[in-house]
Structure 1
């Protein structure tokens, strides 16, 4: 009677180790799953008060987004390392559509972003929820607003889509 089990299949079974010898398994015994089988759409929030032009340039060419949506009420590009001409030149070179969809951040309460995804502007909702292709850059005024928008987007995406997206914040 044998003390080892074998799985019957099409492939030949490896030799059963002798009693008293130690067999080291080929794997650690842990299952390995590949969860990134489907493409992930990255939504990157960029707090414009905290970023410099070089990092913005690098993010744009690393991500190659289909759209860069500016959610700031007051638009300015006087960041160290860039200016308006360079930023729009980079967008053109990366074949990225610039969309201006201002939000009046000062009139919104923070709780609204966490409880109601309808706070997301219609054009942003279209780009994030209804379109299925490409990464998106979202330009927001500061880190606080990035956190609020991440909450609203998370709520909207969770209620409308089940997979294929990741919300990030540029550092």
Structure 2
């Protein structure tokens, strides 16, 4: 039986949902909230999405999408071009290699994996930003941002699970 145009468009839209949510989070993370100092400690929502989709649907988030998302984040936030793309690709690579560990275990194991992987990502970000700026960056804001990102991951994972269940399937 031949699928109709509407069914093909529906399937196409469902397959684009992980990339679309990740790119949407790039834009959401750039929205100014008017809170003093928030930009320095804002949670890494896009990093959460990269990790989640790399573990649960790597078939719908190929590395070039992760790379383009990183470039988009660099452009939107004014970071050195390619910095976030490198970090996202590193997170994607580690998460996909450990995918089977996270899939067969309870959520807190995946959360722990996210903590370890995101710590490495924040450490890499801190080192690369210090090298790019040729100055020592005090790690207190990096640690605060890491803590906020880790603390908010369960809530974002809950949202990603809902998107995964009801929109991606």
TM-score (norm 2): 0.33
Higher fraction of helix: 2
Tell me which of the two structures has the higher relative contact order, counting C-alpha pairs closer than 8 angstroms and 6 or more residues apart: 1
Larger proportion of strand:
1
TM-score by length of 1: 0.33
| Larger-Rg structure | 1
